[in-house]
Amino acid sequence: MHKITFDIETQNFFTDTGSNDPASLTIACVCIHDSETDKYSSYFEEDLSKLWPILEKADMLIGYNSDHFDIPLLNKYYSGDLTKIKSLDLMKEIQKVLGRRIKLDHVASATVGDHKIANGAMANVWWRQGEKQKVVEYCLDDVRITKAIYDHALKHGKVKYPDGKMLRELPLDTSTWEMKNETVLTHTLPF
């Protein structure tokens, strides 16, 4: 199965746009891990035409809060419909079982013993200060962490999360995660 684990950083905040719609934001960069090549790569807003052929060949997109945030924002730039590709949103999978959302950093530290290097607000500040490479490094790190959580959950059928001072295990049904969907994308962009 060809999987793309991905994350997006933006150039602005919702408070800048006056909306809470992810499509109101502007992409700074998109970072991915491609399971076919086992490589990480990054794409600035002006490079997105290089990303589309990779996404169109994917069997599944993997992210954290990606169904609510990343995919709607990417769809603003894409002339097709990325929701036609199977999506695995780890936050949504956790929320289905637990009944509430948990931050990526909390799941990462409890499950794989890793922490994010910063937060999304800092990425915005770095972008505005012209520190684009710092934003890319932060985004790539989120992709790496998301992939580690996905791999752990797939292998062990669970993740961990902090609950006060205790760590709790959260079983996840991963049985359908790697089942292929038949997707039909219209390749509308000239490559």
Q: What is the DSSP letter of 165?
A: T
| CA contacts within 13 A on the Cβ side of 165 | 0
Q: Give the three-class secondary structure for 178.
A: coil
Q: Give the three-class secondary structure for 5.
A: strand
Q: Which residue has the higher pLDDT, 124 or 134?
A: 134
| CA distance to 5, 123, 152, 165, per residue, from 89 (Å) | 10, 22, 15, 26
Structural fold of domain 3-171: Nucleotidyltransferase; domain 5 (3.30.420)
Asked if pLDDT for residue 97 goes beyond 70, the answer is yes
What residue type is assigned to position 90 of the chain? Answer: L
Task: Give the whole-number percent of the chain exceeding pLDDT 70.
Answer: 95
pLDDT digits (tens, 9 = 90+) for 8-47: 999 988 888 788 888 889 999 999 999 999 999 999 999 9
| CA distance to 13, 25, 44, 56, 127, per residue, from 18 (Å) | 9, 10, 24, 32, 20
Least confident of 57-71, 88-102, 119-133, 174-188: 174-188
Asked if pLDDT for residue 147 goes beyond 90, the answer is yes
